[in-house]
Amino acid sequence: MARMLSKDLSDIENILALNPCVRTHATLKSTQTTKKEKKQWKRNTDKNCNSCEKLENNFDDIKHTTLSERGALREAMRCLKCADAPCQKSCPTNLDIKSFITSIANKNYYGAAKTILSDNPLGLSCGMVCPTSDLCVGGCNLYATEEGPINIGGLQQFATEIFKAMNVAQIRNLSLPPVDKMPESYHAKIALIGCGPASISCASFLARLGYTDITIFEKQQYLGGLSASEIPEFRLPYDVVNFETELMKDLGVKVIHGKGLGSNGMTLTTLQHEGYKAVFIGIGLPEPNRDNIFDGLTMDQGFYTSKDFLPLVSKASKPGMCEYQGRLPSIKGTVIVLGAGDTAFDCATSALRCGARRVFVAFRKGFNNIRAVPEEMELAKEEKCEFLPFLSPCKVIMKNGKISAVEFVRTEQDEDGNWIEDEDQVVRLKADTIISAFGSVLSDPEVKEAMKPISFNRWGLPEIDPESMQTSEPWVFAGGDIAGLANTTVESVNDGKQASWYMHKYLQSLHDAWIPSQPKLPCMYTPIDLVDISIEVAGLRFPNPFGLASAPPTTDSAMIRRAFEQGWGFAVTKTFSLDKDIVTNVSPRIVRGITSGPLYGPGQGSFLNIELISEKTAAYWCQSIRELKADFPNEVLIASIMCSYSKNDWTELAHMAESSGADALELNLSCPHGMGERGMGLACGQDPELVRNICRWVRQAVKIPFFAKLTPNVTNIVNIALAAKEGGADGVTATNTVSGLMGLRADGTPWPAVGKAKRTTYGGVSGNAIRPISLRAVSAIACAVPGFPILATGGIDSAETGLQFLQSGASALQVCSAVQNQDFTVIEDYCTGLKALLYLMSIEEFHSWDGQSPPTARHQKGKPVPKIADLFGKQLPSFGPFLEQRKKIIMEYKLKHKNETRATSVPERVIFIPQKAVPTVKDVIGRALQYIGAYGQLDQEHVVALIDEEQCINCGKCYMTCNDSGYQAIKFDPVTHIPTVNDSCTGCTLCLSVCPIIDCIKMVTRTTPYEPKRGLPLAVNPVC
């Protein structure tokens, strides 16, 4: 009996065993069975687990905030980019959070990092360690929604890490004269003492301001201060600190090691005698706040202060911090950490990595009074640290010269809110090690003596003006922990930032130089900012290729003015007509699209509008054009005009627009709704003969360039473009909106629904949804009419997509929907993004990057993962018993290498230099056309899918799409849920298209001949 062709073969049926099916009845399974089965698939920690994961010598990243590119893009798209964003008001360094998240969402990682580092020179460190829940995230408006606030710290870390990988140097402020032509006041000697966050920040801003003789004195042989010595590797690696100090050094800042206040005879007085005109003190609080009950106790007996313990851990675990990586403190048994700040929890989690079996964190107050940020506390909790509130240490018990226990008294809060110790309630806890983390102080008499003659306050710290960071001595400033104001790294950074401006004012006052009352600190600049993105089109020079389309963003001339002030290179006015053709709009008329699914808020993939042309008169627009050109002579202003098919009308309106001073005209021959019914817009633009004649009339009427705006609602847009060229047009705009019906409600009424009758009409669809249509139109015209200028529009929402249009043949880029989704300030992101994309093209080291996206490192949840197959011999998924097995393998590997003492150094920073000229915008126009052609030109070199099992999250999306929409070429293991591709793969790429993890699936060249499965033998031999 012949087999039925419409039934799957047995081997296909085996593949389909786990493929979803419609349920026809309820499923029955006992609770006992489910409890057993869930352990197989569990990814989070089992609450009933009695064994703890050993973390000894494991300093891998543990931050919840760390993001991969996929995670960063999804999170950035979720951000609302709010007006007067509260998150920014909660950031000590006043980061422009809205802008840098916009850049990340647009895959402009350089632009994001530039925004971050311009306000915070330690933006990467702060992205890793900032207590964001208490700062920016605490003000996020999405706290009011079900999905919760944005992971701002993770996004900050992601963007600055990408910039770090770019290996681009920081350069001097672009507006400064050469060093040898700077005024004498900028050559003043400036000293900063201590190379911690406050000093690095202060020195960076002073150097950006133009000061040329800046020296940091650091008593240690490593950089970074507390960031290096007291924040563990799993939260802040040393190479991050080194990267930020290298950026500072790019500006000429010098660092001298082995010198500090009170050592080698250095004092404020000696610095003054050596000619230093201003000094910044950023030495932190170098001594621990040590309770009297610990007097006489040593590390050999099992007692550490945080100032002892954390630097030892850092020196042993941070590659590059010291010339030789030492050994971790040997800690066994039970550890009690005293304190409730961030440092205490860093001590607790570090103790586990030094070998502690159990760690208790004891503190005097309750959980509601813990000073540590929730992120720190949560990490310690996850690692099975135990918390002991309401305990105050009163006695240390010794046995055989070692610590054996600690006695505590119970603390309580009285009715007045005061904390008291109840000596009747005593608790004794066994302990092998005590780590005291009760804060830090300035107590070294030599350091205090070296700081004379400045005044000290009642806490023994320098008397500081909190606004200027100035001490009692006008030439001495201070910031960070020693100023008594900063409690976090980011606050220390801001102290240095604040001090830099007032040091600048002080130094200039010595030379009677005028300084503006409003602080103006320079941004960060790199060679990328020198890239020229201007372009000449039809004899007009555009400062940059990004402009506003004739659309809602140019509804009135005041909006165009604001757009030019923000940096847009050109603008096209809202289309206007003769008074006899004036229009009045209906409402509602501009609605969100449905092409992105149930997405509410910004980031819409499309809009639909039934808005007509401008309701304002031609006289209004002509006067506005005169005003705008008077104030913005370098920006290009294009007047968009529309008439019916009348030579006299087109001649009259074109004359008016030219006389007003417009740089060029855009002939609107494409409005898809409303105007066509009047014999205008689409009614003219769909007929090549009408387009040709209108262009001839306008060419005869004016001398300035003009562009015919084409409609996509035609069979062959190239014919319309050719007609415009034949009529004398200097170029075309491709394209206008696509005619469409956006959606219907459940009762059958449309949206938008106008009036009581709830009627609608076919409107214009815009935004990213029409980008493929627009790219096709632009590339088709560019191929057919080489060198003919094209102003592209339709789905341009970033520098990356703008580059796609340029490479497809566009000369300049018009934007509308992206502004509707946000605001005019996106232009800054577009410009920095395009500059970065062009710059990276000139550097050989970036040939494997996709624009600003580096190759995806193998990761799970954004954190690098070791290739288990190399350690274990086979692949293991990351859930259930397999996850536990993975952890065990990694633990054994870490323990094996624990006691290695080796020479370490931070890899030498290599600045990537362009090996060829940075391409101009003109250089990339049409670059993609060589790859676009007829189907018959495609070759038969086939590819197949390759799945990275280490990155796979075992969702089976590739398996399902291949089964029900493809070729049943993926097997899904019922135990491990690891998908594998078999020989039936045809390289269709559906699996890659639905995979949620970037680069988890790649298409690689097929190594065996491709033989199509015909179903039945061919009746005749194929022609080709």
Per-residue pLDDT tens digits for 892-943: 888 887 766 656 677 788 999 999 999 999 999 999 999 999 999 999 899 9
Q: pLDDT per residue over 746-787, tens digit each?
A: 999 999 999 999 999 999 999 999 999 999 999 999 999 999
pLDDT tier, 685 (very low <50, low <70, confident <90, very high otherwise) = very high
Residue with the larger pLDDT of the pair 873 and 20: 20
Q: pLDDT per residue over 937-962, tens digit each?
A: 999 899 999 999 989 999 999 999 99
Mean pLDDT score of the chain, rounded to an integer? Answer: 94
Distant-in-sequence, close-in-space partners of 61: CB < 8 Å, separation ≥ 6: 234, 863, 864
Which residues is 406 bridged to in the sheet? Answer: 396, 429
* 349 has pLDDT over 80: yes
At residue 215, φ and ψ (nearest 5 deg) are -130, 135
Identity at 156, one-letter amino acid code: Q
* 90 has pLDDT over 60: yes
E strand or H helix that includes residue 739:
strand 738-740
**Catalytic annotation present for 1024:** no
Please tell me the predicted confidence (pLDDT) of residue 865. Answer: 81
pLDDT tier, 166 (very low <50, low <70, confident <90, very high otherwise) = very high
Q: pLDDT per residue over 98-150, tens digit each?
A: 999 999 999 999 999 999 999 999 999 999 999 999 999 999 999 999 999 99
Please tell me the predicted confidence (pLDDT) of residue 1022. Answer: 67
* Chain center to CA of 903: 35
Inter-residue contact 210 to 201 (CB < 8 Å): no
Please tell me the predicted confidence (pLDDT) of residue 462. Answer: 96
Which tokens sit at 284?
A: 């932190």
Distant-in-sequence, close-in-space partners of 531: CB < 8 Å, separation ≥ 6: 835, 838, 839, 918
At residue 170, φ and ψ (nearest 5 deg) are -85, 140
State the chain's maximal CA–CA distance in angstroms: 109
Inter-residue contact 93 to 497 (CB < 8 Å): yes
d(CA 789, CA 781): 10
Please tell me the predicted confidence (pLDDT) of residue 601. Answer: 87
Calculate Rg over the CA atoms of the chain: 34
pTM over 0.75: yes
pLDDT tier, 51 (very low <50, low <70, confident <90, very high otherwise) = low
Inter-residue contact 722 to 785 (CB < 8 Å): yes
Angstrom distances, CA of residue 496 to CA of 288, 502, 820, 863: 23, 10, 38, 32
Q: How many CB atoms lie within 10 A of CB 728?
A: 15
* 816 has pLDDT over 80: yes
Determine what percent of the chain is predicted with pLDDT higher than 70. 98
Of residues 131, 150, 146, 130, the one with CA closest to residue 87 = 150
pLDDT tier, 1024 (very low <50, low <70, confident <90, very high otherwise) = low
pLDDT tier, 1020 (very low <50, low <70, confident <90, very high otherwise) = confident
Least confident of 501-515, 524-538, 883-897: 883-897
Angstrom distances, CA of residue 12 to CA of 1, 9, 645, 901, 995: 20, 5, 63, 55, 22
* Placement of tokens 């201070």 in the chain: 478
Please tell me the predicted confidence (pLDDT) of residue 436. Answer: 97
Q: pLDDT per residue over 236-283, tens digit each?
A: 999 999 999 999 999 999 999 999 998 888 999 999 999 999 999 999
Angle at 445 between CA 443 and CA 450, to 5 degrees: 115
Please tell me the predicted confidence (pLDDT) of residue 850. Answer: 97
Please tell me the predicted confidence (pLDDT) of residue 983. Answer: 92
Please tell me the predicted confidence (pLDDT) of residue 48. Answer: 67
Q: How many CB atoms lie within 10 A of CB 869?
A: 12
* 981 has pLDDT over 60: yes
State the average pLDDT over residues 528-552: 98
Please tell me the predicted confidence (pLDDT) of residue 583. Answer: 97
At residue 592, φ and ψ (nearest 5 deg) are -65, 150
At residue 546, φ and ψ (nearest 5 deg) are -100, 125
State the average pLDDT over residues 671-689: 93
At residue 618, φ and ψ (nearest 5 deg) are -65, -35
Q: pLDDT per residue over 712-728, tens digit each?
A: 999 999 999 999 999 99
* 50 has pLDDT over 60: no
DSSP secondary structure, 23-50, as one string:
--S-----HHHHHHHHHHH--SPPTT--
* 53 has pLDDT over 80: no
Please tell me the predicted confidence (pLDDT) of residue 866. Answer: 76
Distant-in-sequence, close-in-space partners of 85: CB < 8 Å, separation ≥ 6: 97, 98, 139, 141
136, 347, 622, 671: which is the annotated catalytic residue?
671
Please tell me the predicted confidence (pLDDT) of residue 110. Answer: 98
State the average pLDDT over residues 173-201: 96
* Placement of tokens 């992971």 in the chain: 151
Please tell me the predicted confidence (pLDDT) of residue 961. Answer: 97
* 662 has pLDDT over 60: yes
d(CA 310, CA 302): 14
Sign of the CA dihedral 134, 139, 143, 144?
positive
pLDDT tier, 605 (very low <50, low <70, confident <90, very high otherwise) = very high
